[in-house]
Homo-oligomer: A and B are copies of this chain.
């Protein structure tokens, strides 16, 4: 695909979570791009500014142009977000933690950028999904990320059983995500539901 040299590039910039020192887990290429880019699409302005400052302390914060993209964004406003790009500026997309486009609202902007023939460059950084998959020792030739499972207990157990069956039938590793304060209850549901599935399997 040919991209117009008059348009800017969209960089997908991974970020860190919590107190991690960004330069311990983000490569030099991320630092270089953050030093170069002044237009950003972010989920939260305060944490985005703090992240940019930690990567590039000398960067002028007043010169940053920051647009918000989060669950409150009207889908009709998404095309406007890449206007700076169409005017020739490079634009960085930052999610709250992890990689833009993966389990965050960034994907809609990226889709629109492709429709406008804007070059999209993903940068390397931490993804809890990929790190969990690597460290699991489960099948990494075939895996699925399922986002959040339902909150309702019955629906959630039903979904866990469906994923367990898929995992057994197709040898496909199943990944999902949960907010920290629901982790304990979620783990209990997993253990009780999967132990039943395991017992049923042993009785066959």
- Chain B residues with Cβ below 8 Å from A140 are 101-104, 106-107
Q: Is A125 an interface residue (CB 8 A)?
A: yes
The total of chain A residues at the interface (CB under 8 A) is 50
Contact for A145 among B99, B125, B142, B146, CB less than 8 A = B142
- Chain B residues with Cβ below 8 Å from A141 are 103, 147
Contact for A137 among B113, B127, B136, B147, CB less than 8 A = B113
Q: Are B134 and A100 in contact (CB under 8 A)?
A: yes
Closest chain B CB from A18 CB (angstroms): 15
Q: Is A122 an interface residue (CB 8 A)?
A: yes
- A residues lining the B interface (CB < 8 Å): 12, 23-29, 99-104, 106-114, 120-122, 124-127, 129-147, 172
- Chain B residues with Cβ below 8 Å from A23 are 27-28
- Within the assembled complex, what's the spacing in Å between the Cα atoms of A80 and B111? 47
Contact for A147 among B29, B108, B142, CB less than 8 A = B142
